[in-house]
Amino acid sequence: MTTIASPIAGLVAAIEAAEGTAIEAGAILIIVESMKMEIPVEAEITGTVRKLLVAVGDQIAEGQAVAEIE
C-alpha cells in the first residue's frame, strides 16, 4: 500500500478519483487550491485507489496523506 501526500497546504477543491478505481501513475487524484491556484495531486504508482483520506472542502497541510493506493 502506498500513501499519497499533498505537496502543498490548501483547500481540497475537487476529488478526481473514486475509491475502488483503477488508476495509472500520473493520474490526478485530487485538486488542491492554494493562493488562488489549483494544484493537482497525482498518483505516484499504478494501482487501485483503496481509500480517500480527504473530502472536498477540507483544509489540508503540506505532507498530509490524501489517499492510499494498492
pLDDT, tens digit, 9 for 90 and up, residues 30-66:
999 999 999 999 999 999 999 999 999 999 999 999 9
What pLDDT does 40 receive? 97
The set of cell numbers assigned to 8 is 502543498
Q: What are the CA-CA distances from residue 55 to residues 14, 20, 66 (Å)?
A: 8, 16, 9
pTM, to two decimals: 0.88
The three-state secondary structure class of 14 is: strand
Query: How far apart are alpha carbons 61 and 38 in whole angstroms?
Result: 15
* Over residues 17-33, mean pLDDT: 96
Q: What is the dihedral of CA 16, 22, 25, 31, to 10 degrees?
A: 10
Phi and psi, residue 14, nearest 5°:
-160, 150
Task: Given CATH 2.40.50.100, say whether it is the number of domain 2-69.
Answer: yes
